[in-house]
Amino acid sequence: MKKLLFDFFPLVLFFVAFKVADIFIATWVAIICSVLQILWLKLRGRPIEATNWMNVIIIVIFGGATIYFHSETFVKWKPTVLYWMFAFILLGSRLLFNKNVLRKMLATQMSLPDRIWDRLSDTWAGFFLFAGALNLVVAFSGYFTLDQWAAFKAFGMTILLVIFAIGQSVWLGRHMQELPASAGSASVPPVPEKAND
């Protein structure tokens, strides 16, 4: 729960800064929060996951471009780029290298048949492709305002991610196999974080 709040806090700050000021101040806030989170994890001696690094790099590049060019277009692309990178990693590792990234991350926490690991990876990749496309629709279709996109980015995508993760955990519950006691207890696959900053 603490981890979820830790990851969600910058989104709330982004949205508040957007409502109080504008998209450019909110982008500054997103960049600063992402960098501070990395520093906080480093100072506390906690592991920094690849998703954290990917997020901070992308928000610095796309957020920096938004500020430099004074154009909201770049920061609107940021969630899509991050989600599609997740999808590319999951699909690319399986199709090109016959490696399942989720299995590598979670094999010590739960045991699943090979076909279920593959379906889990492909399903998450599909979700990320869909989420990235949905962000583009809300950001650029002309049917939604900048205010609506900011609310969608901060809360809508987070809600979709949580609902999808819950659905996946229920589905996984039917396929999980018992692990030896030394391997630890089974857990729900971690939701890739920071996709919305």
pLDDT tens digits, 97-116: 889 998 888 877 778 888 88
What are the residue ranges spanned by the domains of the chain? Answer: 2-183
Position 127 pLDDT exceeds 90:
yes
Structure tokens at 67: 């500020």
The tokens for 42 are 């480093």
Higher-pLDDT residue of 101 and 186 is: 101
Give this prediction's pTM: 0.83
Report angle CA 194, 52, 64 to the nearest 5 degrees: 75
Task: Output DSSP code: residue 111.
Answer: B
pLDDT at 14 over 80: yes
* Rounded Cα gap, residues 84 and 97, in angstroms: 18
The pLDDT of residue 47 is 86
Q: Which two tokens stand for residue 166?
A: 């819950």
Minimum mean pLDDT among 5-19, 37-51, 183-197: which range? Answer: 183-197
pLDDT of residue 181: 45
> How far apart are alpha carbons 28 and 30 in whole angstroms?
5
Amino acid identity at 90: L
